[in-house]
Amino acid sequence: MRQATTVGASGQEWIVEAYGCDEAALTDLAKLRGLFADLVRELALCPVGDAVWHQFPHTGGVTGLWLLAESHLACHTFPEYQSICLNVFCCQPRAEWDFTEYLKRTLGAETVNVRRMERPYADERESRQLPKLRRAN
């Protein structure tokens, strides 16, 4: 059975790329764990279990993933390119967070690109076509 959805209900996703980062910082697991912990605390996220980390032996690059009740938090570092790619997806709206200042301060990023996307749960056209709910007499 199909259920009505609230028009305008959506989550948010941030796609962040930072360039010109300090190579050593991009291989520092403690620093990256701190990034995840700060995001979780400051955006009031709810982790499901522990974050999973993998460090690549030749480059020292790191992939991190943390499953959240709200969705996920992921990062991929590329020390050989002095860059990090970060993805945060929340099923409910969150306050803005200053990714640029944080990544410049903690990873020495020279350039930070932040894209914030609304993630609607239903096609707006489809939502308008749902039958109106009527109150029982």
Among residues 75, 76, 83, 90, the one annotated as catalytic is 76
* 91 part of the active site: yes
CB 62 within 8 A of CB 72: no
Query: What pairs with residue 90 in β-bridges?
Result: 12, 71
Among residues 10, 72, 91, 127, the one annotated as catalytic is 91
* 76 part of the active site: yes
CA angle 126, 13, 127 (to 5 degrees): 10
Q: How far apart are CA 45 and CA 99, in angstroms?
A: 16
* 85 part of the active site: no
- Which residues have C-beta within 8 Å of that of residue 88, sequence separation ≥ 6? 13, 14, 16, 39, 43, 72, 73
Among residues 10, 71, 72, 127, the one annotated as catalytic is 71
Q: Which residues are catalytic?
A: 71, 76, 91
